[in-house]
A and B are shown apart, each in its own frame.
Chain A
């Protein structure tokens, strides 16, 4: 627990020793009080029991449900949005994935799509990315998943385009207007931490079953990064540069167009990148409401516990994520150098190159429209079965042979760490937890956060799921500690060595984008339906982010400082522990708070593998009509928990920073 807290507060430093003692004192006092009042006022609630609030939430959703046919909002507004969404996605599907316009095959066959994607990568990125794109798109066909991949691509592209259409203007607004920024931030927090399962079923009431609902669900999850990162990019512009523009008499609009937007362009591309990744994360979940594509293959395979097939489809999702990620990143870098290179390079040469690429692409598109061999990916070139068999064999082997060790490991962590900690949290009266959280907030951050914590705790009590919240909190904190151990260890390793980075990065990308449903079965086999399995799933998903952020921070440490430390005779370990980690502290803190958010994003998946508590409540609410209100309450509890923990870590880190700087 101590380790957890010191990691959470972002590697406290010398000037903060007294605070560390204070925290220790709070924990000791907590345990002592717990010994006496254990089991009192723990606000337990049985699995199927409902509080009046839950019942009222049920009634509320019923009411909306029933007014669907005569409410003008539905008749004149939502219906048109739905029609528009359905039509646009069906149109894209008709182009690349589904039989359309009276043809037995889509308008553009595999060869044409591969050519277009490669050409885009070549013209907007570089040759290396074009090669990767070519390989990636061909692999969809080779895995035997061409049509599914194209369905997914259509959905993702449509959702991303709409997310950007909404997100970038709002992001710009949030970038230039403080008030709007303050207003929109909690809304975005809410959108990102509210589990999708909570709004998936109601969404189909508004937008009906079909692509429209899937798109809206995806947008809800994918639009926040677009808004946040765009706003960040606008805000990042040097104030003096903006001032210079103003001092020459620019209107705000001119400054935005000629200074802020061009300078924020690169950051905005990062935002686009994150939006794409978020959209791909939703592919599997949206399949629960009949969204077409790879997600469906994954879920179908899960019904028969067919790990191989799920892995095969998951692999296609990962490949798509990596291709789109690298493509947008390369395009982003190109944005910067584009017009410079454009001027430097002889325009004639470039024009010939572009023309050549376009001619080949057009030829490929034409062929794929006319000839069957270019339209339909040949079935005999299918390596899917091998991938499936390989994954099956690997999963089976691991489950058969590693079970003894993995279950021993699970028991070790559960008995020594998770169970005692959970006992402390669930056994404490709610008011004791309240006092402890507020004491932590007071020691670690400022009065505003203390008030926010008090309000959040009040909400958590009011939501009627206190016990479940405590169980989830225990698992969440343990998972976050594991994430940070991995994050720091691998992050340092990656940050110090470019080669390690190159090898590890695709693996991390896979961990982040491989749908959890794919590896649920093997980890269930290894660890059983337990809270620990849920923790493992969360770690697989969250550790890559923490590792990447830490590595970026380590790499960002000025080489001069490292050189100086080396010149002073530091050992490698000393350089890491005394120079690189402390100097990368803000990155480590960011990694912690992002790790925490990612862990919370997996609470619901945890509910599917034995974590119980809030995750299970949400899943059950999605599956049973009378538990819908309770599921909604559980979703809100996850959001409240997330926002509370995130604010404490963030302000703690900020305060630690200022304290450290103030005493220097």
Chain B
């Protein structure tokens, strides 16, 4: 991807509509595959490393004691390399895979305790999922694919087609209602997948690496599409990816996983600016920091003799967007929030960040 695309930070203050309430609250989630996997959690075995556990019991712990919360209307990205358990995690959240232990609270209700019937009800009304390989039904037209969720929910034909047409228009597929999936390009197929998920008007949308099967240009378009949709419909989204730049671009907050364990959760600038360990540090090494870090991350306390009458900037302005102001100013730029002086930034700090960053954004990752 290129760095000229619109980014989250351009939007009017994210924090403004993110309440502190949790839509999704995940507590101590475990998923162990293998023989008698239910015996692992809660026993001394759970302390073992992945390899040891595999050797001792033949079980594989795909998710190990993961807890996090997702707030209303935020885009929550789960990131990790393949095998880190991220796809298993998202399936556990909707019980496509049955978790071994822990709680998954949707608006305070533990979906692990839901009966099959109730679970189906939740799936039909309250969350929906977009898949890596689209998972479309090749024998149905686009219109029938998009209305599939409504159909199994028992909606009347006219009603569901009407809704489907709305959503098809929303994702920009008008005119393709009567096409079959194999007549569409990959990107368009994923728009169908997206429309199908949106059609049921869910509270939470899950994305399982939805764009990794697409080529880079299409991928960028689709990412922008998600950003646009998020802005328009304001759904809570849980987004799985192995692509850091995608995570940084889309995520309000990012959860980094390794070997089934949670490594770090935080806003993009936190992850880049304050990696918790070498693993994360290695991960974010090649990120152009000036595109992610905000002035908050590079400011320093004013020196005693510094003049404090320079221009002012907020603490959440991305460095890249602050460059112009700082480099033109003859005085240190004050970082101010709520009338309070947090620190100052000079061309020295700006240049340090830019110098650290790799010269060119990496393409075709």
A and B touch in their complex, CB below 8 angstroms: yes
Q: Which of B128, B133, B138 meets A248, CB within 8 Å?
A: B128
Across the interface, do A240 and B178 meet the contact criterion of CB distance under 8 Å?
no
Rounded to whole angstroms, the CA-CA distance of A249 and B123 in the bound complex is 5
Contact with B along A265-294 (1 / 0, CB 8 A): 100000000000000000000000000000
The reply to whether B120 and A247 form a contact with Cβ atoms under 8 Å apart is no
A243-B96, A263-B137 in contact; A250/B131 too (CB < 8 A)? no
A250–B151 Cα gap in the complex (Å)? 9
Point out the residues of chain A lying under 8 angstroms from B96, CB to CB: 243, 246-247
**Interface status of B176 (Cβ within 8 A of chain A):** no
Chain A residue nearest to B151 in the complex (CB): A258
A337 shortest CB reach to chain B, Å: 10
Q: A661 an interface residue at 8 Å Cβ cutoff?
A: no
With a cutoff of 8 Å between Cβ atoms, the chain B residues found around residue A251 in the complex are 120, 152
CB contacts (< 8 Å) of A664 on chain B: these are none
Closest to A239 in B: B135
Across the interface, name the chain B residue whose C-beta is closest to A243: B96
B149's contact among A240, A242, A248, A263, by CB below 8 Å, is which? A248
Q: How many Å lie between the Cα of A244 and that of B135 in the bound state? A: 6
* Chain A, 135-185, CB within 8 A of any chain B CB: none
Which A residues touch B68, using CB under 8 A?
none
**Quick check: is A27 within 8 A (CB to CB) of the other chain?**
no
- A542 to chain B minimum Cβ distance, whole angstroms, is 35
Q: Which residues of chain A come closer than 8 Å to B129, judged between CB atoms?
A: 244, 247-248
Which residues of chain B come closer than 8 Å to A340, judged between CB atoms?
180
Judge whether A262 is part of the interface by a CB distance below 8 angstroms: yes
| A195-248 residues at the B interface, CB under 8 angstroms | 238, 240-248
Query: Which residues of the partner chain B approach A238 to less than 8 Å between Cβ atoms?
Result: 133, 135
In this assembly, does A254 line the interface, its C-beta being within 8 Å of a C-beta of chain B? yes
A343 at the A/B interface (Cβ < 8 Å)? Answer: yes
- Chain B residues with Cβ below 8 Å from A250 are 120, 152
Confirm or deny: A358 has a beta carbon within 8 angstroms of a beta carbon on chain B: no
Judging by beta carbons under 8 Å apart, are B148 and A245 in contact? yes
Q: Who on chain A is nearest to B149 by CB? A: A248
Query: Given the complex, which residues of B lie within 8 Å of A242, measured CB to CB?
Result: 135
C-beta contact mask, A519-559 vs B, less than 8 Å → 1, else 0? 00000000000000000000000000000000000000000
**Contacts of A248 on B, CB cut-off 8 Å?**
123-124, 128-129, 148-149, 152, 196, 200
A522 CB to nearest chain B CB (Å) = 49
Q: Binary interface profile of B, 4-35, with partner A (CB < 8 Å = 1, else 0)?
A: 00000000000000000000000000000000
Bound form: Cα–Cα A247–B128 in Å? 6
Asked whether B137 lies within 8 Å of A262 as measured between CB atoms, the reply is yes
What A residues does B180 contact at CB under 8 A?
340
Q: How far is the CA of A243 from the CA of B97 in the complex (A)?
A: 10
Task: Judge if A387 is at the interface, Cβ distance under 8 Å.
Answer: no
Tell me if B362 counts as interface (CB < 8 A to partner A). no
- A259 sits at the interface (CB 8 A): yes
Q: What's the least CB distance linking A336 to chain B, in Å?
A: 8
Query: Which one of A241, A244, A263 has the highest number of Cβ atoms from chain B below 10 Å of its Cβ?
Result: A244
B152 and A254 contact, CB distance less than 8 A: yes
Q: How many residues of A contact B (CB 8 A)?
A: 22
Closest to B206 in A: A247
User: Could you tell me the distance between the alpha carbons of A28 and B281 in the complex, rounded to whole angstroms?
Assistant: 60
A-B contact count (CB 8 A): 71
A258 in complex: contacting residue of B128, B152, B193, CB < 8 Å: B152
Among residues of A, the one whose C-beta sits closest to the C-beta of B193 is A244
In the complex, the answer to whether A240 meets B132 with C-beta atoms within 8 Å is yes
B167 to nearest A CB, angstroms?
13
Instruction: Mark each residue of chain B from 108 to 120: 1 if its CB lies under 8 Å from any CB of chain A, else 0.
Output: 0000000000001
Instruction: Name the residue in A242, A246, A263 with the highest tally of chain B Cβ atoms < 10 Å from its Cβ.
Output: A246
A240 touches B133 (CB 8 A): yes
Q: Report whether A259 and B120 are in contact in the complex, using a CB–CB cutoff of 8 Å.
A: no
**What chain A residues lie within 8 Å of B138 (beta carbons)?**
263
Contact A241 B123 (CB under 8 A): no
* Pairwise interchain contact A249-B152, C-beta atoms closer than 8 A: yes
Q: What chain A residues lie within 8 Å of B136 (beta carbons)? A: 241, 244
Contacts of B206 in A (CB 8 A): 247
B36 contacts A by Cβ under 8 Å: no
Indicate whether B153 reaches chain A with its CB closer than 8 angstroms. yes
Q: Is the CB of A241 within 8 A of B124?
A: no
Given known pairs A249-B152, A258-B152, A263-B138, the reply for A244 and B124 (CB within 8 Å) is no
Q: B139 at the A/B interface (Cβ < 8 Å)?
A: yes
Whole-angstrom distance between the Cβ of B138 and the nearest chain A Cβ: 7
For residue A240, which residue of chain B has the nearest CB? B135
Q: In the bound complex, what is the Cα–Cα distance between A336 and B139 (angstroms)?
A: 8
Residues on B with C-beta less than 8 A from A254 are 152
| B241 at the A interface (CB under 8 A) | no
B321 contacts the other chain (Cβ, under 8 Å)? no
Measured between beta carbons, the chain B residues less than 8 angstroms from A258 are: 137, 148, 151-152
| B131 and A259 contacting across the interface, CB-CB below 8 Å | no
Partner of A243, one of B122, B124, B135: B135
Cβ B137 vs Cβ A259 within 8 A: yes
> Which residue of A is nearest B180, CB measured?
A340
When the two chains form their complex, are residues A240 and B148 in contact, meaning their CB atoms are under 8 A apart? no
| Chain A residues with CB below 8 A from B153, complex form | 249
Give Cα distance in the complex from A251 to B94, angstroms.
15
Whether B52 is near chain A, meaning CB under 8 Å from some CB there, is no
**Complex contact A244–B131 (CB within 8 A):** yes
A245-B206 Cα distance, complex, nearest whole Å:
14
Q: Which residues of B contact A343 (CB under 8 A)?
A: 178
Any chain A CB within 8 A of the CB of B121? Answer: yes
Nearest A residue (CB) for B121: A249
Give CA–CA (A246, B137) in the complex, Å: 13
Distance in Å: Cβ of A184 to nearest Cβ of chain B: 24
Residues 149-182 of chain B, each 1 if its beta carbon lies under 8 Å from chain A, else 0: 1011100000000000000000000000010100
Do B139 and A263 touch (CB < 8 A)? yes
How far, in angstroms, from A250 to B94 measured CA to CA in the complex?
Answer: 13
CA distance A224 to B3 in the complex (A): 59
A49-79 vs B: 1/0 string, CB under 8 Å? 0000000000000000000000000000000
Name 9 interchain pairs, CB-CB below 8 A, sorted by A: A244-B135, A245-B137, A247-B206, A248-B128, A248-B196, A249-B121, A249-B124, A249-B149, A265-B139
A residues bordering B, Cβ < 8 Å? 238, 240-251, 254, 258-259, 262-263, 265, 336, 340, 343
Q: Known pairs A246-B123, A249-B121. 16 more at Cβ < 8 A?
A: A240-B135, A241-B136, A244-B134, A244-B136, A245-B137, A248-B196, A249-B149, A249-B153, A251-B152, A258-B148, A258-B151, A263-B137, A263-B138, A265-B139, A340-B180, A343-B178
